[in-house]
Structure 1
Amino acid sequence: MQSQSTSVINMLNAFRLENPEVVQDIPVWHFCDNEIDANDCGELVLSGDKQATSPSLWGIERRKEPMPQVGDLDLITNWQGEALAIIQTKSVKLVAFNKISQAYAFKEGEGDKSLTYWKEVHWLYYQRELAPFDMEPTTEMPIVCIEFEVIFKL
């Protein structure tokens, strides 16, 4: 988890003021593993083009992260840790890499939104994601397909 910037604290306070019934902790994170992609994906979320994200199940398990659940809230930042939006998970499905659909790639909203683009950039990401665990991606590996919607932004 990132240290909380003033913008993160302000967004969390504003969200809780409007939603006092929400008592759960809200994780704070950015997409991707590099500045350019993290900032691009953050902007795609704000524009409404990005409505899904896809970590590998193997990466989640090796990092000992909780499995995403429908209803989860997350505060998304840019690479610099500035708050962008709070998203809510709407759907979580395990799908083999080689079974990802064009419709799902479109929901990810990246590049030209094609399945070809999705496979190219995500394969490279999964290689980097799994490298610390001395693992390589496979075409059959399970991908955690998370669909979300923006529920709050300042």
Structure 2
Amino acid sequence: MKPTEFFNQAKLELKLPENTPLQSSYQFGAEADKLAELVKKGIKTATTSAYDLYESNEPLPQIGAYDVILNSHDEPVCVTYTDNVQVVPYNQVDAKHAYEEGEGDRSFSYWKKVHDQFFIEEYKSMGKMFNPDTATMVLEKFHVVYPKVKQNG
């Protein structure tokens, strides 16, 4: 199923207005399947992207927007709603955000180790050098709206 079809299905079930736009559909850069499942389960409720690598005409995520999260085969896994977006220096990302990203043991030290390595490679692929003291990040907070997250208990 294509992301737009999946989103249309979600709009029907959620009773959203027909003209509700889809902001984007994307997969997470590293371990797309694993991270998509963490989002679907409501464990991963935040993500970090490099503001420095956005194209000049590329819009930032918008609060109140809907996205389709894809697996590694570009198949839809779930729809999220963006609750908050902040642009902050990399060295100001905190333990709360690291925990909300839901990866590994959810500690800040794990988050920093994994993200340092990810951004080194990401910047390199764009012909740039990652410097944690000068890099700027987009922190996005979201929650799953479709399919509904099953609560334990």
TM bin, normalised by shorter chain, reads 0.7 to 0.9
1:10 shift after superposition: 4.1
- The percentage of aligned residue pairs carrying the same residue is 30
TM-score when normalising by structure 1: 0.85
Equivalence for 1:128: 121
For this pair of structures, how many residues does the alignment match? 145
Q: In 1, are the aligned partners of 2:83 and 2:141 still within 8 Å (CA)? A: yes
As a proportion of its length, which structure holds more helix?
1
Q: Structure 1: give runs of 5+ residues left out of the alignment.
A: 1-5
- CA deviations 1:120-142 (Å, max 9, x no partner) are 11111111221133211112211
Give the SS at the match of 1:27.
strand
Q: In 1, are the aligned partners of 2:22 and 2:65 still within 8 Å (CA)? A: no
- CA deviations 1:93-118 (Å, max 9, x no partner) are 12211111111100000011011111
Q: In 1, are the aligned partners of 2:124 and 2:130 still within 8 Å (CA)? A: no
Runs (4+) of structure 1 moved beyond 2 Å? 7-10, 20-23
Correspondence for 2:49 among 46, 55, 69: 55
TM-score when normalising by structure 2: 0.85
Matched, 1:149 2:143: yes
Q: In 2, are the aligned partners of 1:88 and 1:150 still within 8 Å (CA)? A: yes
What RMSD in Å do the two structures reach over aligned CA positions?
Answer: 1.8
Q: Structure 2: give runs of 5+ residues left out of the alignment.
A: 149-153
Equivalence for 2:100: 107
